Amino acid sequence: MLRFVLWRMLAMVTVMFAISVLVFLIFFATPGVDPAARIAGRNADQQTLKAVRHDFGLDQPMPVQYALLMKKLFITRDLESYVNRGAKVVPQVEEAAPVTLSLVIGASLIWVATSVLMGVLAAVFRGSIVDTGLMIIGLIGISMPVFWLGEVVNLVSQSRFHDTFLFSWVPPLGYTPLTESPLGWFKSLLLPWLTLAVLYAGIYARILRSSMVEAQEQDYVRTAYAKGLTERRVLVRHSLRMSLIAYFSLFGLDFGALVGGAALLTEVVFGLHGVGKLTYDSLQNFDLPLIMATVMYAAFFVIVANALIDLLYSWLDPRVRVV
User: HSE on the CB side for 78, CA within 13 Å?
Assistant: 5
What is the torsional sign of CA 275, 276, 282, 286? positive
Residues 215, 262: Cα–Cα separation, whole Å: 32
Residues 111, 238: Cα–Cα separation, whole Å: 22
* Beta carbon nearer to other proteins, 185 or 255: 255
Note whether 264 binds other proteins by CB under 8 A: yes
Among 286, 308, 313, 321, binds other proteins (CB under 8 A): 286
DSSP for residue 218: S
Among 8, 27, 100, 270, binds other proteins (CB under 8 A): 27
DSSP labels, 116-161: HHHHHHHHHTTTSHHHHHHHHHHHHHHHS-HHHHHHHHHIIIIIIT
Among 9, 105, 139, 312, binds other proteins (CB under 8 A): 139
The CB-of-254 to other proteins minimum distance in angstroms stands at 9
The CB-of-256 to other proteins minimum distance in angstroms stands at 6
Note whether 4 binds other proteins by CB under 8 A: no
Among 40, 79, 240, 299, binds other proteins (CB under 8 A): 299
In the range 173-232, which residues lie near other proteins by CB under 8 A? 203, 206-207, 209-210, 213-214
Residues 236, 47: Cα–Cα separation, whole Å: 68
Residue 119 CA, distance from chain mean position = 22
Q: Which residues bind other proteins (CB under 8 A)?
A: 15, 18-19, 22-23, 26-27, 30-33, 38, 139-140, 142-145, 147-149, 151-152, 154-155, 158-159, 203, 206-207, 209-210, 213-214, 250, 256-257, 259-261, 264-265, 268, 279-280, 283-284, 286, 288, 291, 295, 298-299, 302-303, 306
